Amino acid sequence: MSVTTTAQVLRAAGVSRVYGSGASEVHALVDVSVEVGAGELVVVVGPSGSGKSTLLHLLGGLDRPTSGTVHLGPDPAAAGGPSAVERELGSLGEDDLHGVRRGEIGFVFQSFGLVPVLSAAENVEVPLRLARVDAAERAARVAEALEAVGLADHADQRPYELSGGQQQRVGVARALVARPRVLLADEPTGQLDSTTAGRVMTLLRDLVHSRGVAAVVATHDPDLVALADRVLVVRDGRLVTV
Ligand SMILES: Nc1ncnc2c1ncn2[C@@H]1O[C@H](COP(=O)(O)OP(=O)(O)O)[C@@H](O)[C@H]1O
Ligand SMILES: [Mg+2]
């Protein structure tokens, strides 16, 4: 079930990214515009090298566009403070951008990105430590996040003691524990078998819907497209209309 809402959270306007210069110039993304609303799961598909990761990096403020702009809409829940107004990520300094990435955006990685020496709970706790959430609140939120991904019984296990699907569910819990408004996932099921991939992706979709997160997931797995609220197809750096 999709949450119907018009609250626009993330918007890219005419974004292009050129890597390199001169003869080695690569036009990785060309004039891409996209809007993502609260509770909406947008899946970006396209062959390898089409520009999916570049788009996610720009949307998440990990990289800056060569031209065009990326905007994070005002947070309706923010009582004053920087997130109460719309921000253009390209106009922010490194510190402010870092704050946006830490506080308003959750990332899920293909390789899970878990710290091997930390337990599942400790991995999920990392974003809350960075946000200086106090210990009692951290414990409650970590427990809730692990519960939400069905891993309450695996809190003390290290990544190597978990299956790939379980590791990525820890990755999803970590991405959402700080209650970001935006979730970005680059090939989150690329290292999972198709059954596990479907389960992880279904879980991710349900959390995106129930928590009203604006999510963009890049994948080249056609099976995952069925779970999307909206599909964007990229080819040679351009959005293709489907
Ligand atoms: N840091 C970089 N420097 C130079 N070229 C890059 C860089 N990152 C990506 N590219 C190129 O940009 C294009 C798009 O890459 P990418 O966004 O990674 O595509 P996808 O994620 O769809 O596989 C490719 O031609 C790739 O080789
Ligand atoms: Mg990629």
Residue 4, pLDDT > 80, answer: no
Domains of the chain: 1-104+180-242 (3.40.50.300), 113-178 (no CATH)
pTM over 0.85? The answer is yes
Per-residue b or e along 201-223, where b marks 16 or more CB atoms closer than 10 Å to that residue's CB:
bebbbebbbebbbbbbbbbebee
Kindly report, residue by residue over 134-189, the tens digit of the pLDDT. Answer: 999 999 999 999 999 999 999 999 999 999 999 999 999 999 999 999 999 999 99
In this prediction, residue 6 has a pLDDT band, given cuts at 50, 70 and 90, of: low
Kindly report, residue by residue over 18-65, the tens digit of the pLDDT. Answer: 999 999 999 999 999 999 999 999 999 999 999 999 999 999 999 999
C-beta atoms surrounding 16 within 10 Å: 19
In this prediction, residue 206 has a pLDDT band, given cuts at 50, 70 and 90, of: very high
Residue 129, pLDDT > 50, answer: yes
Q: How much is the pLDDT for 125? A: 98
Ligand 1 neighbours (beta carbon < 6 A) = 19-20, 26, 28, 46, 48-54
Query: Which residue puts its alpha carbon closest to atom 17 of ligand 1?
Result: 51
Distance 188 CA to ligand 2 centre (A): 11
Cα–Cα distance between 240 and 169 in angstroms, integer? 31
Cα Rg, the chain, nearest whole Å: 18
Query: Which residue puts its alpha carbon closest to atom 7 of ligand 1?
Result: 19
Distance 52 CA to ligand 2 centre (A): 5
Kindly report, residue by residue over 215-238, the tens digit of the pLDDT. Answer: 999 998 877 899 999 999 999 999
Q: How much is the pLDDT for 80? A: 78
Dihedral pair phi/psi, residue 169, rounded to 5°: -65, -35
Strand partners, 43: 217, 231
DSSP 3: P
Our mutation pick for probing the ligand 1 site, out of 21, 25, 26, counting the most ligand atoms within 8 A of Cβ, is: 26
Distance 95 CA to ligand 2 centre (A): 26
Distance 81 CA to ligand 2 centre (A): 34
Ligand 1 atom nearest to CA at 51: 17
Kindly report, residue by residue over 62-95, the tens digit of the pLDDT. Answer: 999 999 999 999 888 887 777 888 999 999 999 9
Query: Which residue puts its alpha carbon closest to atom 12 of ligand 1?
Result: 28
CA distances to 105, 136, 188 from 108, rounded to whole Å, are 10, 25, 6
Distance 57 CA to ligand 2 centre (A): 10
Question: According to DSSP H, which parts of 60-111 are helical?
Answer: 94-104
Q: How much is the pLDDT for 159? A: 97
Asked whether the beta carbons of 168 and 137 are under 8 A apart, the reply is no
Ligand with minimal distance to 52 CA: 1
Residue 241, pLDDT > 80, answer: no
In this prediction, residue 5 has a pLDDT band, given cuts at 50, 70 and 90, of: very low
Query: Which residue puts its alpha carbon closest to atom 4 of ligand 1?
Result: 19
Query: What are all long-range contacts of 146-155, with beta carbons under 8 Å and residues at least 24 apart?
Result: 146/120, 146/121, 146/170, 146/173, 148/173, 148/176, 148/207, 149/173, 149/203, 149/207, 150/203, 151/120, 154/120, 155/119, 155/120, 155/121
